[in-house]
Amino acid sequence: MRRWRSDDLDGFAAVNAQPEVMRYIHDGRTLDRAATAERLATYQRHWDEHGFGLYAVEIKETGELAGFTGLAVPTFLPEVMPAVEIGWRLGRAYWGRGLATEAAQAVVAHTRARLALRRLVSIHIVGNEASARVMVKLGMSLERETVQPDTGRQVRVYAMDLADFAEGSETAAVAQPSVECR
């Protein structure tokens, strides 16, 4: 995992153009290249403002952009604020390989080691059971069900206290990823 580069636009636009990928993102619409460029600019501003953000997930062997994982402030769901959300989005070709879990585990480990955050949330639209499974694998617990105000879609909020993610715990043992955040 790494910070975004200008040459990531085409690869990320290809991910965002996949209807099956975007089905459970915001209102379910795909994004074109221009909208993807706006998102990448937003991601960079988030890094500049908060000192953390979404990482590009790159396949080491091929250099292909698979998608992202990382941290964001979920302002789209005001009832959970203040909060930091861990999230992920991978292109369809990368589903079912454990990449989302492995990358998210690396983000949790990095967050515990380098950031002064005590808690993480993760939010998914009801029906996206693959994302819910990643949340559970991370050691997160269902905190609430609610409705996303701007779309009216039902969402579930999972949460974890990072203090509970202690070294030597069963969850910590699982979360020793072979990927790195850079």
CATH of domain 6-174: 3.40.630.30
Burial of 45 (0-12, 13-18, 19+ CB in 10 A): exposed
Contact predicate 126/144, CB 8 Å: no
Take residue 72 and report the two structure tokens written for it: 């964001």
Contact 73, 46 (CB under 8 A): yes
- Identify whether the C-beta of residue 124 lies closer than 8 Å to the C-beta of residue 135: yes
What is the DSSP track for 118-133?
-EEEEEEETT-HHHHH
Q: What is the pLDDT of residue 104?
A: 97
> Over its length of 182 residues, how does the chain's per-residue pLDDT go in tens digits?
999 999 999 999 999 999 999 999 999 999 999 999 999 999 999 999 999 999 999 999 999 999 999 999 999 999 999 999 999 999 999 999 999 999 999 999 999 999 989 999 999 999 999 999 999 999 999 999 999 999 999 999 999 999 875 544 444 434 444 455 55
CA-to-CA distance for 38 and 33, rounded, in angstroms?
Answer: 9
Cα 41 to Cα 35: distance, rounded to the nearest angstrom: 10
pTM, two decimal places: 0.88
**Can you tell me the distance from the alpha carbon of 8 to that of 75, in angstroms, rounded to the nearest whole number?**
25
* Strand arrangement, sheet containing 141-147: 54-58, 65-72, 85-90, 119-125, 154-161, 141-147
- Cα separation, 116 vs 21, in Å, equals 32
Residue 132: C-alpha distances to residues 10, 15, 59, 89 (Å)? 28, 20, 23, 13
What are the residue ranges spanned by the domains of the chain?
A: 6-174
**What pLDDT, on the 0 to 100 scale, is given for residue 131?**
96
**The predicted structure's pLDDT at residue 177:** 44
What backbone phi and psi angles, to 5 degrees, belong to 122? -145, 135
Residues 6+ apart with CB under 8 A from 59: 66, 94
